[in-house]
A = this chain, B = another copy of it.
């Protein structure tokens, strides 16, 4: 008897009610049901569900890096340090991590900001990546995946009511963690649209339009960028990053750069430029003033270790008083999981030339990255052969976000069912082919355009060509 409950849909936190998260939304719940039906012997036009909804590398068959897992095993059960089956570099990494843990155990809490020596290794990694731009370990905070860092930063930044409520600029299409976190915090989501015609590039004029619009009804103070893009797969040019930084400086915006796909750059002529490096190359008038936080994680790239929830963020030009508040805030949750911290350390402090694990490590790393590059190219090619589907070149990250032109009849049918047209398309695709996609409406898109996000890891050539064509044919014209 619902009336008697303390906590009901009507009495709960309305901000939580407003949260949407398409990547694990209704279509995924239906996919899980279908998997169950298949196990129970229900006949379907397919034998397995292809989960192209999420970038879950290992679930899709990507193999973990041997060296990482050896060190984690050694850290978990240090008795193995006596064993001869492990290479010396794995043992020395494990000893170093354990020495930095309370009681030499992964089971002790770490400092809330993360283990000291891991933060130092992260700082050195960032310096190498950015051609020597200095990084202070005190600016590095270990997190539970990048999501945790992003939410923590937004928590610090969001305040005010009515017209003075914090506005946060996010790209459309976006990764729905952003919209979900903003809904939960009751902040104002300020959309700027990526330019699909120009390979999902970020246009300065659109940023200006979006900001001017937002200033009429809220206080926009944060600009979020995902580079390489999720779900759109673009890689920002150096020029574009410069423009964005100048724009943020001029407009007094706090920059949040989600750079978790920094190793996933495939297209020729494309290169990853970190916001931090470009910021410092612009000279002290920028590098001493613009507030920037950059996020990275162990979940993507060649590692794909999503389950460990490892990550870090680096804060630049953060007010010292705010830093003290940030440390206090992360203290309440005690610390990020220590195995994830250990893994983050291995990512930023991987085997070096001359060490016994170097050759195997490089081989595994290169194989995975080449396979991902190949899949990115293949996906683009195949999708563009399907009538009605147009896919931009996939320059980086792990997804395609193709445009689908749906016939009016299908759009009508969807609307009659109260579904977004691309949700209708993806649902039919799932029921008829077993491919689980996320509809573009879950990421945001220009009105009247329709898309889906497709995770490359799950690419099986014959599956996608046949099933997409079949599907396409099955939509009433």
Which residues of A are at the interface with B, using a C-beta cutoff of 8 A?
Answer: 1-2, 4-9, 11-17, 19-21, 23-25, 32, 54, 56-62, 64, 69-70, 72-74, 76-77, 80, 83, 85, 101-103, 105-112, 144-145, 147-148, 151, 155-159, 177, 180-181, 184, 221-222, 252-254, 289, 291, 303-309, 317-319, 321-322, 325, 328-329, 331-340
Q: Is the CB of B325 within 8 A of A308?
A: no
Nearest opposing residue in chain B for A159, CB measure: B13
Name the residue on B nearest A110 (C-beta): B307
Using known A-B contacts A306-B334, A332-B19, A338-B307, determine if residue A319 contacts B9 with beta carbons closer than 8 Å.
yes
CB distance from A247 to the nearest CB of B (A): 13
> Are A69 and B59 interface neighbours, CB within 8 A?
no
A103 to B51, CA, bound (A): 12
Contacts A13-B157, A109-B306, A305-B107: A319 and B101 contacting too (C-beta < 8 A)?
A: no
What's the minimum C-beta distance from A184 to chain B, rounded to whole angstroms?
Answer: 8
What are the residues of chain B within 8 A of A147 when measuring CB–CB? 332-334
Kindly state the separation between the CA atoms of A54 and B337 in the bound complex, as whole angstroms: 17
Contact A6 B156 (CB under 8 A): no
Please judge, given known A-B contacts A73-B76, A155-B13, A159-B12, whether A289 and B4 are in contact too, CB under 8 Å: yes
Within 8 Å by CB of A319, from B2, B73, B308, lies B2
A325–B12 touching, CB < 8 Å:
yes
Determine if A11 and B105 form an interchain contact, defined as CB atoms under 8 angstroms apart: no
Give the complex CA separation of A62 and B77 in angstroms. Answer: 15
Instruction: For the complex formed, measure the closest distance between the CB of A309 and the CB atoms of chain B, giving whole angstroms.
Output: 4
A106 with B13: CB separation less than 8 A: no
Q: Which of the residues B77, B151, B254, B328 comes within 8 Å of A69, measured between beta carbons?
A: B77
With A7-B221, A15-B159, A145-B333 already in contact, 18 other A-B pairs whose C-beta atoms are closer than 8 Å: A6-B221, A6-B291, A7-B156, A9-B325, A13-B155, A13-B157, A13-B158, A21-B328, A23-B331, A25-B328, A56-B102, A59-B103, A59-B108, A64-B107, A110-B307, A151-B333, A307-B337, A307-B339
In the complex with contacts A13-B155, A21-B331, A319-B9, A109-B72 CB distance below 8 A: no
Interface centre among A14, A309, A332 (most CB of B within 10 A): A332
Interface centre among A6, A80, A108 (most CB of B within 10 A): A6
B residues near A64, Cβ cutoff 8 Å: 105, 107
Measured between beta carbons, the chain B residues less than 8 angstroms from A181 are 332
Nearest 8 Cβ contacts at the A-B interface? A59-B102, A307-B338, A73-B77, A58-B105, A24-B331, A337-B337, A59-B108, A107-B305
With contacts A7-B319, A332-B181, A339-B308 known, is A57 near B107, CB below 8 A? yes
A332 touches B291 (CB 8 A): no
Contact A5 B107 (CB under 8 A): no
